Structure formats: structure tokens, C-alpha cells
């Protein structure tokens, strides 16, 4: 908890402005979360973000010091909480998401998600205000515990085009993963059928068509093999929930660190507490992309950050 004594020069300003000026390195999303939780007081009384301060007011902010004094956002490296910026222009933002952070609110985490932090980052830069008609939006999703590249649209037209190009597979998405065992072939295209069980929050892979099951296609290429661990490049032809994890587990090669579809015994032996899966490359092969045509031919790639002994 921190206290601020309002001085004459700060008088007649909204409290949110005073706090942001006093703690410039704090994520904006953390401040608004504190207001929602009623963790900001003035003279002992809880207030909202539009409260106007007066000289002599004592402000109490119940946010931990590490968040208040958090890593400063730098527009040159764009290193912020939960992601770093790989590419940015006036229409889109491509970020490299850390593992363990959901891209959007879920049943476990409703705040501090990737999209929350991205909007806070753009708000910090002055490119987004909550009062504007369009909020920067995800063009696609990856699992909470999968790291890697995510595209965010900054305006409605960019979102419309991105969604269409992802649907028509003009944006190719590649992953890297570490799996148990050695693949029979160095390259293959796997086809199966995926059935989603919402109640169990998992999916099941079947070799033949089944009711409520959709076809999934997963391409892989072996990049390396050592210590009975293979590093694969995966191209998602179809993009279904948990497709890569479930499909590889189904053929007997679960992803290292995957607690849902993998081997807990193997994961413990390798010290792998989170799945070794990273969305590491995007390729744009766009046709008639309108205002986003300049992206055609671009490729974006990051180095996966696997936390596994031996690292395949």
C-alpha cells in the first residue's frame, strides 16, 4: 500500500490522472482493477476513478509495490507485462505472449489477460481510449499455457480482413513443440476427427468420422531428436481447440509438460511444469487484402522459450 498527499499543483484533477502521473511504470490495467475492487481510498473513503482531488487529500492505494513500480513500458523494445511486441503499425499489432497468460477472460482469470494488457499498452501510448468506439481485438487465440505469436487488430477494418484471411488460410501459423519419443517419419500430414467435451474441458481424437466430431489436419516436420525427445515444427491446417496437443498424444507422442494430454510421470522427470508448445512463426500470403495488402509476403518468427531439461 502507498500513500499520496495531494499538493496544490495536483488539485482539481481526476484521481486516475494523479495516480498515473505518480506511478508511470504501473500497468494501467492494474490501476483500473484497483478501482473496480475499491482498493483506492481518499481520506479513508473508497472512491472511483473520476473523483476530483483537493489539496491536502490523503490518497491510499492498495496495490503491491512491485506492480506500482513495475517494469516501465518502453516503446523501443515494447517489453511489457505478459508479452513483447514483434511488429506494430497503425492497423495491427503482433505480440509474443508469455506462457501462463490467457489471451482473453476465462473461467479462471477475468482480468490481467493478454488483451487487457495490450489495451493498456496502447492506452499508455495514446492510441486507445476506453471511450472510443473500437477496442483493439484479438484476431485469433492460443491456449493459456502456449506461448507465442498473436495478432491484434487496431481498427474494425483490420479485424475484418484479418479474420477473413485466417479463415481462408492466407495466414499460415506454425508452432514448435517438444514431444516424447521419435516420430516414424521426418514429415507427415496427420488427419483425424476431433470431438469437444465442454463439460470436461478437453477434446478427444478419433480415427474415423463420428457424431459431433470435426476433421482436423496437422502437419509436422522433425527439426531434431535427442534423449528420446523430438523437436517438431507444426503447421496447423485446421485450428481446433487443443488440436496439436490432443492429436500428438493420440498417436503416442504427447507434448512434454502437457498436464492434460501428456504423461505426468515423464513431465516430473524432466522438470516440465508447462507444455513445451510455442506459436513461433506467421507467414502472410495475402490475396486482395485491401488496406492490409502491404503485409503480403511478410514473415514473423520468434525463438521458443521451452522450460524443459535437455530441451530436445
Residues taking part in catalysis: 143
CB 153 within 8 A of CB 291: no
Q: Which three cell numbers stand for residue 38?
A: 475499491
Rounded distance, CA 85 to CA 150, Å? 10
SS3 229: strand
Sign of the Cα pseudo-torsion (302, 308, 310, 312, in order): negative
CB proximity list for 34: less than 8 A, separation 6 or greater: 40, 61, 62, 63
Q: Tally Cβ neighbours within 10 Å of residue 71.
A: 12
Beta bridge partners of 94: 87, 151
CB 163 within 8 A of CB 262: no
CB 137 within 8 A of CB 152: yes
Please name which of 152, 220, 208 lies closest in space to residue 184, comparing C-alpha atoms: 220
Question: Which residues in the chain belong to E strands, given as ranges?
Answer: 2-5, 40-42, 45-46, 58-61, 79-80, 83-88, 92-97, 137-138, 147-153, 171-180, 187-197, 202-206, 213-226, 229-236, 277-284, 299-301
Rounded distance, CA 154 to CA 126, Å? 13
Amino acid at each position: 500500500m502507498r500513500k499520496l498527499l495531494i499538493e496544490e499543483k495536483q488539485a482539481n484533477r481526476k484521481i486516475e490522472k494523479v495516480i498515473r502521473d505518480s506511478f508511470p511504470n504501473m500497468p494501467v490495467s492494474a490501476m483500473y482493477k484497483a478501482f473496480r475492487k475499491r482498493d483506492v481510498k481518499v481520506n479513508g473513503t473508497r472512491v472511483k476513478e473520476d473523483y476530483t482531488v483537493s489539496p491536502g487529500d490523503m490518497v491510499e492505494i492498495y496495490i503491491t509495490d512491485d506492480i506500482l513500480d513495475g517494469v516501465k513500458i518502453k516503446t523501443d523494445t515494447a517489453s511489457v507485462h505478459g508479452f513483447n511486441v514483434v511488429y506494430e503499425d497503425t492497423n495491427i499489432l503482433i505480440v509474443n505472449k508469455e506462457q501462463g497468460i490467457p489471451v482473453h477472460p476465462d473461467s479462471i482469470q477475468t482480468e490481467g489477460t493478454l488483451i487487457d494488457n495490450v489495451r493498456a499498452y496502447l492506452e499508455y501510448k495514446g492510441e486507445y481510449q476506453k471511450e472510443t468506439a473500437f477496442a483493439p481485438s484479438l484476431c485469433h487465440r492460443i491456449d493459456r499455457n502456449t506461448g507465442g505469436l498473436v495478432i491484434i487488430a487496431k481498427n474494425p477494418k483490420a479485424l475484418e480482413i484479418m479474420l477473413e484471411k485466417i479463415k481462408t488460410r492466407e495466414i499460415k501459423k506454425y508452432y514448435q513443440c517438444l514431444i516424447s519419443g521419435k516420430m516414424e517419419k521426418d514429415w507427415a500430414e496427420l488427419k483425424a476427427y476431433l470431438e469437444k467435451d465442454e463439460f470436461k474441458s478437453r477434446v478427444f481424437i478419433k480415427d474415423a468420422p463420428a457424431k459431433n466430431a470435426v476433421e482436423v489436419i496437422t502437419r509436422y516436420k522433425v527439426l531434431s531428436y535427442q534423449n528420446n525427445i523430438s523437436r517438431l515444427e507444426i503447421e496447423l491446417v485446421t485450428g481446433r481447440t487443443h488440436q496439436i496437443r490432443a492429436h500428438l498424444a493420440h498417436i503416442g507422442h504427447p507434448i512434454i509438460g502437457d498436464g492434460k494430454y501428456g504423461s505426468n510421470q515423464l513431465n516430473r522427470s524432466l522438470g516440465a511444469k508447462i507444455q513445451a508448445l510455442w506459436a513461433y512463426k506467421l507467414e502472410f500470403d495475402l490475396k486482395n487484402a485491401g488496406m492490409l495488402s502491404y503485409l503480403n509476403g511478410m514473415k514473423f518468427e520468434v525463438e521458443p522459450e521451452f522450460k524443459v531439461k535437455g530441451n530436445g
